[in-house]
Amino acid sequence: MSFDSLGLSAELVKAVLEKGYTKPTSIQLQSIPVILKGLDIMGRAQTGTGKTAGFTLPLLHLLNKHTPSRSQRSRSPRALILTPTRELAAQVAMSVDVYGKYLSLKSATVFGGVNINPQISKLRSGVDILVATPGRLLDHANQKTVDLSKVEILVLDEADRMLDMGFIHDVKKIINLLPKKRQNLLFSATFSKDIKRLADNLLNSPIMIEVASNNLEAEQIEQLIYPVDRKRKSELLTHLINSKKWPQVLVFTRTKHGANRLAGHLEKNGITAAAIHGNKSQGARTLALSRFKENSIRVLVATDIAARGLDIDQLPHVVNFELPNVAEDYVHRIGRTGRAGREGEAVSLVCIDELKLLKDIEILIKRELPKTIIPGYEPDPSIKAEPIMNGRNARGGKKQFSGNARNHYSTRSERSRQNASTYRGKFNSAGKSGRGK
């Protein structure tokens, strides 16, 4: 089936074809006709499946079809797209611009980390589509620089990430500023109980659209586990990049400090690198991403703020320098490669501290990941596991730890007893599945 058979306008089809897309993806096939009918949607799709175009194209079609005359047109946005991160907001805004290039609709993007005044000027000039992160949008609402009372279509993109990052209260405040009668589109990579509760309060008899089993990773991504001691991860990563001659690598760490430290280590070893995370200014983040896309730097080291929203064409390699504390985030991280049906490789450097995290990931994706021990980097079975601080879930200054430390090793003595046997049974068997390949 082609795009012109979905009921989209000729202008939109022309823009899509110029982008190089000829056939709709599964999420697009299912969501576009439903949205064009004005119905609410609760959609779940893997990252990299064309979800953004799945709601952007019909949204543009509906707004353009019912655009008032210039004299009657309001300066207030008629469509609001909420995203959890600045990077994702910028990506969605780019899709709006690319697909809407032959339409007379105006759009704007607002997010934090940059000067608010240019955003205010853009909003005052009038926009039809507003792409925003929750915090900065509330700033505008409090300053009376945006009027949300004319919104006809609301899109919550990456709703699970929005809740996970603590934006639920901001989202509820924003919803209270919207008109009661509107079309609602909720998209999420996972459908947790919290997401379903949000949907129950937000959506009106929604059509459920699911294009893949819950949380499954893309099939075209080759996934490998490299067991290694925690203190040798930087050394092993440097070895892999050089020996395998990886031209472009996106590397994920758990912490901002860890991202800075790893980028510095790579630079000292002759590998061009930059770090992006929440403490970096938006200008620095944009510059680093731009340099990475242009191949001016070889490695981009990121925290999970970049797990969604980074759309890097033909990115060949993703590395989990540290496994995420939440198994679902593994799927989002590796989804930065293997996009639009292309092949990709996702490598994880796993130390003994992360065995429970690895097990959680394998339970989620319903398969055991292949493990390869690199000669010269064999894990030392005498090293004891250490707890992993779960910074995301810490509240009120109290240190909390991931299930890896709290549940897998209930006491220090038990941890010591299980340590060696766990390594022998879990990691040393890796040699049977490809040692030294």
Per-residue three-class SS string for 193-247:
HHHHHHHHHHCCCCEEEECCCCCCCCCCEEEEEEECCHHHHHHHHHHHHHHCCCC
Sign of CA dihedral 315, 317, 321, 325: positive
In the numeric block, the tokens 């064309």 are attached to 50
* pLDDT score, position 374: 96
Superfamily of domain 221-433: P-loop containing nucleotide triphosphate hydrolases (3.40.50.300)
At position 258, the amino acid (one-letter code) is G
Bridge-partner residues for 300, per DSSP? 250, 274
**pLDDT category, 304, cuts 50, 70, 90?**
confident
Q: For the chain, where do the domains classified as CATH 3.40.50.300 start and end?
A: 3-210, 221-433
Q: Give the mean pLDDT of 47-68.
A: 88
At 409 the pLDDT is 33
Confidence of residue 214 (pLDDT cuts 50, 70, 90): very low
Which amino acid is residue 243, in one-letter code? S
- Protein fold of 3-210: Rossmann fold (3.40.50)
- Give backbone dihedrals phi and psi of 210, rounded to 5 degrees, phi first: -135, 125
DSSP label of 158: T
Please give the backbone phi and psi of residue 151, each rounded to the nearest 5 degrees, phi first: -65, 125
Q: Residue written as tokens 């589109």? A: 185
Share above pLDDT 90 across residues of the chain, in percent, rounded to a whole number: 57
pLDDT band at 426 (very low <50, low <70, confident <90, very high): low
Taken in order 375, 376, 380, 385, the sign of the CA dihedral is negative
Strands laid side by side in the 153-156 sheet: 107-110, 129-132, 79-82, 153-156, 183-188, 41-44, 207-210
Better pLDDT: 244 or 328: 244
Task: Give whole-number Cα distances, 334 to 218, 327, 374, in Å.
Answer: 9, 12, 21
Alpha-carbon gap, residue 308 to 320, rounded angstroms: 15
Buried b (16+ CB within 10 A) or exposed e, 221-244: bebbbbbbbbebbbebbbebbeee
CA distances from 384 to 86, 103, 354, 427, 430 (A): 39, 61, 12, 14, 19
How many Cβ atoms sit within 10 Å of the Cβ of residue 176? 8
